[in-house]
């Protein structure tokens, strides 16, 4: 069974997104391309490397 590249959770066979963290399921050799979005001047900008880690309560 495949594992999520972001959180390590086991993935169902035909999953497109991780059920734990919501990260996209990458095919072997596939990499995510960075997304560039220009924010309006004065806007608060938060930079993320991917989906947040899953933290069970």
Residues 6+ apart with CB under 8 A from 39: 45
pLDDT: is 54 or 42 the higher one? 42
Distances (CA, A) of 43 to 17, 40, 46: 30, 6, 10
Looking at the DSSP bridge assignments, the partners of residue 3 are: 10
Burial class (CB in 10 A: 0-12, 13-18, 19+), 52: exposed
Instruction: Write down the domain spans for the chain.
Output: 1-26
- Tell me the average pLDDT across 49-55: 67
Above pLDDT 90, what percent of the chain?
A: 28
| Cβ atoms of residues 24 and 30 within 8 Å | no
**pTM (2 d.p.):** 0.51
Residue 21: is its pLDDT beyond 80? yes
């Amino acid at each position: 069974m495949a594992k999520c590249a972001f959180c390590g959770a086991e993935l169902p066979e035909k999953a497109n997104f991780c059920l734990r963290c919501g990260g996209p399921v990458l095919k072997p050799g596939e990499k995510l391309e960075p997304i560039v979005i220009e924010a309006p001047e004065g806007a608060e900008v938060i930079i993320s490397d991917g989906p947040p880690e899953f933290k069970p309560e």
